[in-house]
A and B are shown apart, each in its own frame.
Chain A
Amino acid sequence: MTRLPRWADLVLVPLISLALAFAISALVILSIGQNPVEALKVMVTGALGSSYGWGYTLYYATNFIFTGLAVAVAAHAGLFNIGAEGQASLGGLGVALVALALPWPHWGVALPVAMVGAALFGAMWAFIPAILQAKRGSHIVITTIMFNFLAAALLNWLLVNVLRPPGSMDPASARFPESTQLPRLTDMAAAVGIEWGKSTPANISFLIALAACVLVWLLIWRTPLGYEIRAFGRSERAALYAGIRPARIIVIAMMISGGLAGLMAINNVMGEAGRLLLNSAEGAGFIGIAVALMGRNHPVGIVLAALLFGFLYQGGAELALWTSIPRELIVVIQALVILFTGALDNMVRMPLGRLFGAR
């Protein structure tokens, strides 16, 4: 197949895929008798036109950065982790157990421990499929799907029977202590005298997510372990030749992946809800697939793609509020992005290859 220039591969292909996804979404909007241009206006105004909109956009983006990184790290090892959703739910459990365990004096003390809890629980949920793949050859795609359902059942049971405070009817944990409330970006802006994003859930986790991007970049492209993960992902036999042990890489990469997915919980569970709710991940784990595909498994791409999906999420909510277009439109867009950037990649690439080859 014709090779594409690097810039076309990194920029042009995702952009064309995105354009195709949006074009088809526009057709869908037209088909239900609405105006796609109006819809886009509502979305842009609602998600990006005010600091309020940005506050939500960044909040959603934070979730997607974590899950996007999770999917990407596994992808570098040649593993398709569809289980980020379940791992993120388990991360929520980790956060809840930490937050409810002690009367934390200050969020600054609670946060690091909660992060460890979140990452650990997420990593453990990824560990079982990983070890089954490494040692028994069980297809990790199927096992991680199954573990999403198992996570949902487990949390359902825990929330109803164990974590639910006496007298409450909600399948949810008790509220976390006031002291574990993470500082919101609003508060941080106010501290330097800027009024920004009033009553929005974006919080310090966003900065942690950005830090995670830097760490993942260092891990994958600068450390020997990252080198091994990428080598194994590209060629298992070359990895064996190079003394890289497949089982070790599968387990480590999946646990890092699960840990990153789990870390998402500091944003949605600790930073926003303040208690563990049923279905806390709300599909963010799956959006991570679209984000990683769109972002070409690179942290910079992932941040951009996460912002895009954050915008779509917040814009979608606005859409439901101001028009009669349901917010599920964004699920359609998400599906189309996955389809075009992931599965129909060659459809975009082949004509481009011909175009560049013909020069």
Chain B
Amino acid sequence: MDYATILQILDSAVRLMTPLLLACLAGLYSERAGVFDIGLEGKMLMAAFSAAATAAVTGSVWLGLVAGVLSAVAMSLIHGLAAITFRGNQLISGVAINFLASGLTMLLGQSWFGLGGRTPSLEGAARFSPVTLPGTEALSGIPVLGPFYAEVVSGHTALVYVAALLVPGTWWLLYRTRFGLRLRAVGENPASVDTAGVSVPRLRWAAVAICGVLTGLAGAYLATGLSAGFVKEMTAGRGYIALAALIFANWRPWRALGATFLFGLMEAVANRYPELDLGFVTIPSMVMSALPYLLTVIILAGFIGRATPPRAGGEPYVKER
């Protein structure tokens, strides 16, 4: 494997990581506030479709982005209604949202575009174009670092950098602001927030809304950044992998970056080498694609590390008698 190949794989890993990272951070906000969300997949899918459909019709990727975010937020509102307002089962709500997105995207896609669930291919301004970061030119002469900067760091679409900046941003928000303090508190012990005179539902609604926005970005990136249009079921389990990454990251932002990069890298390697030959054994691509799920089970079983979810996660808050 030469350096150029490694760079290509890393470049691909960064791109594949981005939707996972956005969705993972989305889940982080929601679950840190005590609202479990297994509907990341559905929200992403819905956003991917809305973004691609809007971009295809208007020719503007930015309008597509707005549409994607709005549709994901709408799905989040359903989840909030079930989880916060009506104190329903958050897991069942997530399942419902995944199916709702799956059904609606195919139904609307087929009736609007008649392409078997695809949206028309996006070109030009209807897609995110790569951004060349300043300094690429200047560094190009330097061996090793120059090509690394040009291939892996520079040349991605805007949302990749947004996702990357969201990691320190989320960390800062969570650990350095009043909002973050309250958000974390409401996911651990909502009664502590309630007795302090702060509204539990309002905090949880805010978290669920942020989750919607971020899954919207994730979906929009998938359809208008990573690919050139929507294909049916294009999230292909990424929402669940993001969930796995969230557990892997123990609900912390920097670790989320690490976990999603690892999973992105695995996907990149599996794409590049369908049959990975390690000399003594050949790993089929199926194993590579199953690895994130397997790792998550191992983490959950507590054999490596220990996943400690937010204590009040999944439980509707009811004032105790």
Contact = CB atoms under 8 A, between A and B. Distances in A.
Q: In the complex they form, do A and B come into direct contact, defined as C-beta atoms under 8 angstroms apart?
A: yes
B169 to A, nearest CB: 27
Contacts of B93: 339, 342-344
B106 A331 contact: yes
Nearest to B116: A326
B88 A143 contact: no
Interface stretch (B49-57, B118-126, B130-138, B292-300): B292-300
B103 A343 contact: no
Interface stretch (A47-55, A146-154, A226-234, A240-248): A146-154
Contacts of A156: 286
B82 interface: yes
A333 B112 CA distance: 19
Interface stretch (B172-180, B203-211, B239-247): B239-247
Contact of B107 (A33, A128, A143, A328): A328
Interface stretch (A132-140, A197-205, A212-220): A132-140
A339 B286 contact: no
Given A150-B290, A161-B284, A326 B100 contact: no
Interface residues of A, number: 49
Contact of A342 (B88, B106, B110): B88
Q: At the interface, is chain A mostly helix, strand, loop or mixed?
A: helix
Contacts, number: 151
Contact of A332 (B107, B284, B294, B301): B107
B290 A343 contact: no
A102 to B, nearest CB: 29
Interface in B72-129: 78, 81-83, 86-93, 95-100, 102-104, 106-108, 110-112, 117
A286 interface: yes
Interface residues of B, number: 47
A343 B92 contact: yes
Contacts of A331: 99, 102-103, 106-107
Contacts of B301: 132, 136, 138
Contacts of A147: 293, 297
Contacts of A347: 81, 86, 88
B93 to A, nearest CB: 3
Interface string B295-318: 011001110000001000000000
B287 interface: yes
A346 B87 contact: yes
Interface in B202-260: 237, 240, 243-244, 247
A238 interface: no
Nearest to A82: B95
B96 A335 contact: yes
Contacts of A32: 107-108, 111-112
5 tightest A-B CB contacts, nearest first: A331-B103, A343-B93, A335-B99, A342-B92, A332-B103
Interface of B: 38, 78, 81-83, 86-93, 95-100, 102-104, 106-108, 110-112, 117, 237, 240, 243-244, 247, 284, 286-287, 289-290, 293-294, 296-297, 300-302, 309
